[in-house]
Amino acid sequence: MSNKKDDIFAKPVSPLPFRFDESVAEVFPDMISRSVPGYQSIIRNVSKLATHFVTDNSNCYDLGCSLGAVSLAMSSGITANNAQIIGVDNSSAMLERCQHHIDAFKHSTPIKLIEADISKLDIQNASMVALNFTLQFIAQEERASLLQTIFDGMNEGAVLILSEKIRIEEQSLDELMINLHHEFKMENGYSALEISQKRNALENVLVPETIESHHQRLKNVGFSSITNWLQHYNFVSIIAVK
């Protein structure tokens, strides 16, 4: 993948909302690895979860696939026969680079890319679905509907991996996690200016919720087996099994 350094917010910029455009696509691997604690651990374990959950003749969905890291991780772990991976994103800039990455890496399970709004996608015959830091960019009033569509399209025993930046109900703990996250970013070379400007750009674009809110919504759409399997500061990955 591209090793281009993320310096989008290194200089003062106009206060515009964050967008997954060509400038972000170009630096995305560096951006996400330096910005999201635990990200590489999630990717590694997606492969293991694919080995455990993906069944013969089924579909796997990577919703908000960006540059395809989750799709490729799924592929590396799948041992089932005749499965396919469907990567979906609404950013043409992301998908163009995603296709290059997928073509560059050896993978045994076919990966099909679709440019689409995931809230309007028809999910069918799914044994594995990943929403890896994607739901947080969906309007809050549309999140339950999207999860219901996913649940309805999943087979019995299928798994949903939901990774999100979260908000903690108790303000002092929420502020602590935010500060630890900012320290993580500074340790990875981001300046105070970059952290501040990106936070402003993400305001009202990335809207985090509490873990309790996520669990309750998953229960409401029909999931009964739900657990947090990884947490780094205010970033959590949840597994829900149908």
Residue 242 inside a domain? The answer is: no
Number of domains forming the structure of the chain? 1
Residue 61 lies in a domain: yes
Q: Which domain holds residue 118?
A: 39-167+205-234
Q: Which residue has the higher pLDDT, 206 or 75?
A: 75
pLDDT bracket for residue 2 (50, 70, 90): very low
Q: Give whole-number Cα distances, 215 to 99, 170, 223, in Å.
A: 33, 17, 9
- Asked if residue 180 is part of any domain, the answer here is no
Residue 44 lies in a domain: yes
Q: In this structure, is residue 7 part of a structural domain?
A: no
Each residue's pLDDT tens digit, 3-29: 688 676 767 777 777 777 787 778 877
pLDDT higher than 50, residue 39: yes
Span 70-83, pLDDT tens digits = 999 999 999 999 99
Tell me what pLDDT residue 220 has.
98
Q: Residue 5 domain-assigned? A: no
0.85 cut: is pTM over it? yes
Residue 99 domain-assigned (yes or no)? yes
69 assigned to some structural domain? yes
At 41-69, the pLDDT tens digits run: 999 999 999 999 999 999 999 999 999 99
Q: Does pLDDT of 93 surpass 70?
A: yes
CATH of the domain at 57: 3.40.50.150
Neighbours of 92 (CB within 10 A): 13
